[in-house]
Copies of this chain bind each other. A is one copy, B any other.
Amino acid sequence: MTDSSAPAYEAAPYSLAIDAMGGDHAPDIVLAGLDRAADRHPSARILLVGDEAVLGTLLPRFPKARRICEIRHAPSSISMEMKPTAALRLRDSSLRMAIDAVASGEAGGVVSAGNSGAMLALAKIVLKTLPGITRPAMAAVNPSARGDVVMLDLGANIACDARNLVEFAVMGEAFAKAVLGLPAPSIGLLNVGAEELKGDERLRVAAEILRNSALASQFHGFVEGHDITAGTTDVVVTDGFSGNIALKTGEGALKLVSLLLQRVFRTSLLTRIGYLLVRPGLERMKEWIDPRRYNGAVFVGLNGIVVKSHGGADAEGFAAAVDVAMDAVTHQINEKIRDRLAQVEMLMASAPEGEVAASSSAA
């Protein structure tokens, strides 16, 4: 067991603990994903948590995964439908035991494609938030015209105050440094932007704090919805309600275009020939905005790295989530959050109490 104030991952015997039983296609896809990840992280040490009998039979089929994995038996698992409250009571589930391994300092982080509500609830209770962080947030990388963009919160917190938003900025910066490898990521606060619209007090207060903080030179100010895909800033900070809606609206718009393109290409013999000619480029483009490539959302702000893969992810998608977790562990995202928070914390304390602590949004 490590001291609770020290980051658990620093000298963890396992790089990651993996919930082998979580997700729509577990455990097969999990092992297939680890087989791919093993190529990219040959020196990783993985604690594979799940049904020993099943995993023992399956693992030999994935020789690369087998080389980096060690199985730990978990008698039960959490279904996709299970309520978080029920999941909390199940102390021997694969997800719980994987998170426990992070809490005990055995593993630097955990990856699961299982039930996200259960994962967030368990991670909050077992790992607890980092000192100085009020609420963990869900962060992920998205494509833009100018490269990858980190967005948070994507739905862990419906309502957020100014302090939460400043903390998200700190965590988003650390995420962009650790996972995207950017030395000084720029940060934008998502707003409706247009002058004529009624402002939002919590956003103005958060902006004011950031403008006077150690992040001042990286803080770009307010950004709007279209700035996310334009890549105006490397990090986009917002509350979990807007963040979730922005994420899914963007995905929906991409899906709409893809549907329309299919119609266009199927119109006639000529368009089918045209399609064959541009197909290699379209495939590259598809790959570039492929949701699998962007799989792996991180619950940032906890004592340990917690990565959620899409439940329906395939092997490539799961491997991407493992990549994110490995980057976050290796590049010590939590150390970065801690350092930055120490610099920003003072400003939050000196800001007028009522404003910083103000709930959600101006009525």
Contact of A230 among B225, B252, B271, B362 (CB under 8 A): B252
Q: Mark A268-290, 1 if CB is under 8 A from B, else 0.
A: 00110111111011101100110
The answer to whether the Cβ of A353 comes within 8 Å of any Cβ in the partner chain is: no
A157 within 8 A of partner (CB): yes
A255 contacts the other chain (Cβ, under 8 Å)? yes
Q: B277 contacts A289, CB within 8 Å?
A: no
Q: Is A197 an interface residue (CB 8 A)?
A: yes
A202-231 interface code vs B (CB 8 A; 1 in, 0 out):
000000000000000000000011111110
Partner of A245, one of B246, B271, B278: B246
Please give, as numbers and ranges, the residues of chain B lying within 8 Å of A116 by CB-CB distance: 194, 196
Per the bound structure, the CA–CA distance linking A195 and B120 in Å amounts to: 12
- Report the minimum CB–CB distance from A99 to chain B (whole Å): 16
* Chain B nearest CB, measured from A354 CB (Å): 14
A interface residues, tally (CB under 8 Å): 78
A251 in complex: contacting residue of B161, B226, B238, B281, CB < 8 Å: B226
Closest Cβ of chain B: how far from A340's Cβ, in Å? 26
A6 interfacial contact with B, CB 8 Å: no
Nearest opposing residue in chain B for A288, CB measure:
B260
On whether the beta carbons of A229 and B241 are closer than 8 Å, the reply is: no
CB distance from A113 to the nearest CB of B (A): 14
Report the minimal beta-carbon distance from A150 to chain B, rounded to whole angstroms.
15
Q: A158-B361, A271-B278 are in contact. Are A227 and B252 (CB under 8 A)?
A: yes
- B288 lies within 8 A of A241 (CB): no
Q: For residue A23, give the distance in angstroms from its CB to the closest CB of chain B.
A: 15
Known: A156-B197, A278-B265. A361 touches B362 (CB 8 A): no
A64 CB to closest chain B CB, in angstroms?
Answer: 33
What's the minimum C-beta distance from A275 to chain B, rounded to whole angstroms?
Answer: 7
Q: Which of A200, A259, A278 has the most CB of B within 10 A?
A: A278
**Interface bits A134-175 vs B (CB < 8 Å: 1, else 0):** 000000000111000000000111110100000000000000
Q: Give me the 5 closest cross-chain CB pairs, A-B, nearest first.
A: A117-B196, A225-B248, A274-B277, A226-B252, A264-B281
Enumerate chain A interface residues (CB-CB to B < 8 A): 84, 115-118, 120-121, 143-145, 155-159, 161, 190, 192-200, 224-230, 238, 240-242, 244-257, 259-261, 263-265, 267, 270-271, 273-278, 280-282, 284-285, 288-289, 359-363
Query: 5 more A-B contacts (CB under 8 A) besides A145-B255, A260-B285, A267-B280?
Result: A116-B196, A157-B198, A192-B244, A271-B280, A275-B278
Sample 23 A-B pairs with CB under 8 A, ordered by A number: A84-B196, A115-B196, A117-B197, A155-B192, A155-B197, A156-B197, A159-B360, A159-B362, A193-B244, A197-B244, A224-B248, A225-B247, A225-B250, A226-B252, A238-B245, A249-B250, A250-B252, A250-B253, A257-B257, A267-B280, A273-B274, A360-B361, A360-B362
